Amino acid sequence: MDRPSIRQLECLVAVSEHGSFRKAATALGISQPALSAQVQAVEGLLGVQVFERDRRSVLVTPAGEDIVGRAREALVAIDGVHDAARRRGEPLVGPLRLGVIPTVAPYWLPALLPSVRSRFPRLELILREDQTARLLAQLTAGQLDAAMVAIPVPGDLTTAAIARESFVLAARRGSQIVKKRGRINERDLDQETVLLLEDGHCLRDQALAVCERGGAVESMEVRATSLPTLVQMVAGGLGVTLLPEAAADALVQSRGPIEVAAFADPVPGRTLGLAWRTSSARLREFRMLAETMSGAADSFLQKLRR
């Protein structure tokens, strides 16, 4: 029985992901006529129309949705064959597509990547920054190999812890809540106006849980798109917020308009970890990567907390 080629499967997936023959051709590094010919050939081979197209748009047909999904699964399996062969030699060699959430990437990667590069000099990290839900969807679909996120996470994924990061309170300098000596308690947040990130950031949910336990009131008028924006809102006197300690170290100046205060035990925080598909054939490699990151994270946190 004639089967679609790997290239034909790649073309189907690329057109589906980009919603455009032109953009898909550019992503694959081939001409648009060549891409169209590959798609037409596989549609003829399967006897199914995968795409509806006109001059303005490309839509996946109902039958095409199933075919594209299976094509994506097949490509993941084919990558697994290549990975299995590669693991016979040196581990973590070649490209690895790593997703990282925005509240981690700029604050943690500079501390972790030098150790990763030192231990695995032939590893080629391809980084993609996005919110947790989208990263997990891309990971499940085979578009990413692993993701650095706050764990636990839903789905058929395996995780390994990298670091436990504490939260600190950030408030405008001179605010009553940071005037007290020593560490604060969650109950000190009672009736404070708390600023949080917009929906979609897992940090929002984690910080919101702490604030609700302390009786804080979330500001419904402003929600930030990033941690730097959140810090500027606090500096403007719009409220207080919770920051991960790595971000606080990077964003809060020692003599600037914002002060930070540490929490008393039990200190609220989050666990950062590496996640990958449970079905992946690269279990050993991902655990090695997580262990390397964890060692670098320990050193990084020790410096932060001095």
Predicted pLDDT of residue 161? 97
Predicted pLDDT of residue 85? 62
Mean pLDDT of 134-146: 93
Report whether the peptide linkage leading into residue 266 is cis, meaning its omega lies within 30 degrees of zero. Answer: yes
Q: What is the Cα–Cα distance from 183 to 213, expressed in whole angstroms?
A: 17
Above 70 in pLDDT, residue 83?
no
- pLDDT band per the 50, 70, 90 thresholds, residue 306: confident
Predicted pLDDT of residue 172? 92
Query: Could you tell me if 294 and 161 are in contact, meaning their C-beta atoms sit under 8 angstroms apart?
Result: yes
Q: Which amino acid appears at position 120 of this protein?
A: F
Q: What is the DSSP letter of 173?
A: T
Complete domains list, the chain, with CATH: 6-85 (1.10.10.10), 90-163+270-304 (3.40.190.10), 165-269 (3.40.190.10)
User: Percent of the chain having pLDDT more than 70?
Assistant: 96
Mean pLDDT of 269-297: 94
Predicted pLDDT of residue 252? 93
- pLDDT band per the 50, 70, 90 thresholds, residue 181: low
Query: Could you tell me if 214 and 189 are in contact, meaning their C-beta atoms sit under 8 angstroms apart?
Result: yes
- The two tokens of residue 225 are 């798109």
DSSP H helices, the chain, are 6-18, 21-28, 32-46, 62-87, 105-119, 132-140, 176-179, 202-214, 227-235, 245-251, 283-304
Provide the 3-class DSSP secondary structure of residue 148: strand
Above 70 in pLDDT, residue 66?
yes
Above 80 in pLDDT, residue 1?
no
Average pLDDT, whole number, for the chain? 89
User: Which tens digits make up the pLDDT trace of 204-215?
Assistant: 888 888 888 888
Q: Which amino acid appears at position 176 of this protein?
A: Q
Mean pLDDT of 121-132: 94
Query: Could you tell me if 178 and 171 are in contact, meaning their C-beta atoms sit under 8 angstroms apart?
Result: yes
User: Which tens digits make up the pLDDT trace of 219-255?
Assistant: 887 788 899 999 999 999 999 999 999 999 999 988 8
User: Which tens digits make up the pLDDT trace of 44-64?
Assistant: 888 899 999 877 788 899 888
Q: What is the Cα–Cα distance from 82 to 71, expressed in whole angstroms?
A: 17
What angle separates helix 32-46 from helix 21-28, to the nearest 10 degrees? 100
Mean pLDDT of 191-208: 87
Q: What is the Cα–Cα distance from 160 to 164, expressed in whole angstroms?
A: 12
Predicted pLDDT of residue 256? 87
Name, in order, each residue with C-beta under 8 angstroms of 138's C-beta and a sequence gap of 6 or more: 99, 128, 130, 144, 147
Closest to 160 in 3D by CA, of 305, 282, 303: 282
- How many other CB atoms are there within 10 angstroms of residue 197's CB atom? 23
Predicted pLDDT of residue 169? 93
Q: Around 187, how many Cα atoms within 13 Å sit in the side-chain half-sphere?
A: 1
Above 70 in pLDDT, residue 87?
no
Q: Strands 193-194, 217-218: parallel, antiparallel or unpaired by DSSP? A: parallel
- pLDDT band per the 50, 70, 90 thresholds, residue 119: very high
Placement of tokens 């499940």 in the chain: 140
Residues in the chain: 306
Provide the 3-class DSSP secondary structure of residue 289: helix
Mean pLDDT of 258-275: 93
Above 90 in pLDDT, residue 75?
no
